[in-house]
Structure 1
Amino acid sequence: MTSTEDVPAHRYEFVESLRDFARRECGTREQRRALSDDDRITHSAELFGKLADLGWIGCAIPEAYGGGGGSTSDACHLVEEMAYGKAPLFGLGVSLVSATVVQRFGTEAQKQDILGGVCRGEVLATAISEPGAGSDAGSMNCRAERRGRKFVVNGQKTWISCAHIASRILVLCRTDGTGDKHAGITMLDIPVGTPGLEIRPIATMGGDEVNDVYLTDVEVDEDRVIGTEGGAWHQIMRCLNADRLMCGAVFLGHARRAFDDALDYIREREQFDRPIGSFQALRHRIADLATEVECCRLLVRDAARKLDRDPDRQVPREASMIKLKVTETAKRIAIEGMQMMGGAGYTLEHDMQRHLRQSIISTVYAGTSEIQREIIGRSYGL
Structure 2
Amino acid sequence: MSHRPWRDIVRRKSRQIMVGNVPIGGDAPIAVQTMTNTPTEDAAATIAQIRRCEEVGADLIRVSCPTVEATAAMPAIVRGVKIPIIADIHFHYKRALEAADAGAACLRINPGNIGSPERVKEVVRAAKANGCAIRIGVNAGSLERHLLEKYGEPCPEALVESAFEHAKMLEDADFHNFKVAVKASDVFLAVAAYNELAARSDYPLHLGITEAGGLIGGTVKSSIGLGMLLWGGVGDTLRVSLSAEPEEEVKVGYHILKSLGIRARGVKIVSCPSCARQGFDVIRTVETLEKRLAHITTELSLSVLGCVVNGPGEARETDIGLTGGGNGKHMVYLSGVTDHHVADDSIVDHIVKLVEAKAAEIEAAKLAAETAQAAA
TM-score by length of 2: 0.26
TM-score by length of 1: 0.25
Point out the structure with max Rg over C-alpha.
2
Higher relative contact order (CA 8 A, sep 6+): 1
Structure with more of its chain in helix, by fraction = 1
